[in-house]
Amino acid sequence: MTRRLEGKVAVVTGSGQGIGRGIALVLAREGAKVITNNRKPGAQKEIVDLHILDDEAKAKHAALSGDAEKTANEIIALGGEAIPFFGNVADFETAGKMIQTAVDRWGRVDILVNNAAGLGAGTLLDTSEEEWDYQTVPKLKGAYNTMKHAIPCMIEQNFGRIINIASDAWTGIPGLAAYSAGNAGLVGVSKAVAKELSKYGITVNTICPQADSPGHVLNFAIAKKKIEAFMGGNPISQEKMKAVEAAHGPAENMAPFLAYLATEEAGSINGAVFSVTGDARVTLYTEPVQASTIKKDEGPWTLEELIETVPRTLLKDYRSIVNHNNWGK
């Protein structure tokens, strides 16, 4: 069987458990040498405790937990090459040392997967400053740090695959204010850097994954309660709940699409955003486009003119997403 990533070197942040672990395993299965990473040895503690979980969910959370060394050992046991690197990639110097570890050991960096993130839930008013920083800084600053250090290597090679892990929350989900902000920022920087680097044979794409992980077990339970509270206590439909659980299958089930984006064959895919689930569904997001325009030829608009003109021209086909999805009720 052809291993499409044979000889490539990958760095996967936040790969001690959950989605990052699944990504690292699949890249290694395809022949890549992998730097695994998380902040420190041992299962990672979330910013909130586990009291919200029932006993079954607590047991599942524990079974899914791990660290970079555990993931690296799994890869080695399967005949691959891996090095664990402990450190917070939100620190610029630490991120540099991680990238340099790959270069020192294997001479190059071909694939960079920015998966490190701080998870959480809460409306903007519910979110403390600490929680805001926890959910935005590791994702945005961490991606900046690793890209800043890895891109010069990729330019020299005239090849690179950067895959930034965001969330469907980038579109804006009530009850996930800070998390939505961090992921929307990651989508924006990914699109900008994709345009900057295309001439060097480097692609930058964004994946919004859904798969089983300790973070999903814990934070979905929290988010569910907060979203239902925001919706006036109405429960999320059983149909929706079943779809969410089906989508959160094993992370190894969604990772092959990410591995595909890392191949030579996927070189024409750049600046895209995909939603990928653990039950083998892959969805391409449309690109943001300007929908309609109004222009006054002489002088600025008056308020009266706008009140008269905007509803019948600029917003003729507009429907508020807030009202359409009943978020305001």
Token couple for 275: 């939603």
Q: Does the pLDDT value for residue 60 go beyond 50?
A: no
Mean pLDDT in residue range 41-61:
54
Average pLDDT, the chain: 87
According to the model, what pLDDT value does residue 62 have? 47
Torsion, Cα 247 251 257 259, to 10 degrees, reads 170
pLDDT for the residue 175: 87
Mean pLDDT to the nearest integer, 12-20:
93
Q: Is the pLDDT of residue 312 over 70?
A: yes
How much of the chain exceeds pLDDT 90, in percent?
70
Who wins on pLDDT, 66 or 264? 264
In the prediction, which pLDDT does 61 show? Answer: 44
The catalytic residues are 179
Report pLDDT for 49: 53
* 258 in Cβ contact with 113 (< 8 Å): yes
Q: Mean pLDDT over residues 28-52, rounded?
A: 78
pLDDT-derived band at 47 (thresholds 50, 70, 90) equals: very low
pLDDT band of residue 42 (cuts 50, 70, 90) is confident
Query: In percent, how much of the chain has pLDDT > 70?
Result: 81
pLDDT score at 279 = 87
Residue 32's nearest CA partner among 49, 11, 13 is 11
In this predicted structure, the answer to whether residue 37 has a pLDDT above a threshold of 90 is yes
Would you state the pLDDT for residue 166?
Answer: 97
Q: Does 306 score more than 90 pLDDT?
A: yes
Token output for 292: 């309609």
What pLDDT digit, counting tens, does each position of 199-255 carry? 999 999 999 998 865 555 555 655 666 566 656 677 766 776 666 666 667 888 889
Confidence band (pLDDT; 50, 70, 90) for 320? confident
**Residue ranges covered by each domain of the chain:** 9-284, 291-329
Domain 9-284 class in CATH: alpha beta
The token duo for 83 is: 């090095």
Residue range 74-85: mean pLDDT, rounded: 97
Residues 88-132: tens digit of each pLDDT: 999 999 999 999 999 999 999 999 999 999 888 889 999 999 999
For residue 323, what are its two tokens? 């009202």
In the predicted structure, residue 50 carries a pLDDT above the cut 60: no
**Angle in degrees, 0-180, between the axes of helices 55-64 and 214-230, rounded to the nearest 10:** 140
At CA 239, angle to CA 326 and CA 165, rounded to 5?
75
The pLDDT score that the predictor gives to residue 2 is 82
pLDDT tens digits for range 124-163: 999 999 999 999 999 999 999 999 999 999 999 999 999 9
| Parallel, antiparallel or unpaired: strands 111-114 and 160-165 | parallel
101-104-109-114 Cα dihedral, nearest 10 degrees: 0
Q: Which residues are registered as beta bridge partners of 204?
A: 162
Q: Rounded to the nearest 5 degrees, what angle is found at the Cα of 61, between the Cα atoms of 68 and 145? A: 35
Answer whether residue 55 shows pLDDT above 60: no
What is the pLDDT, as a whole number, of residue 59? 47
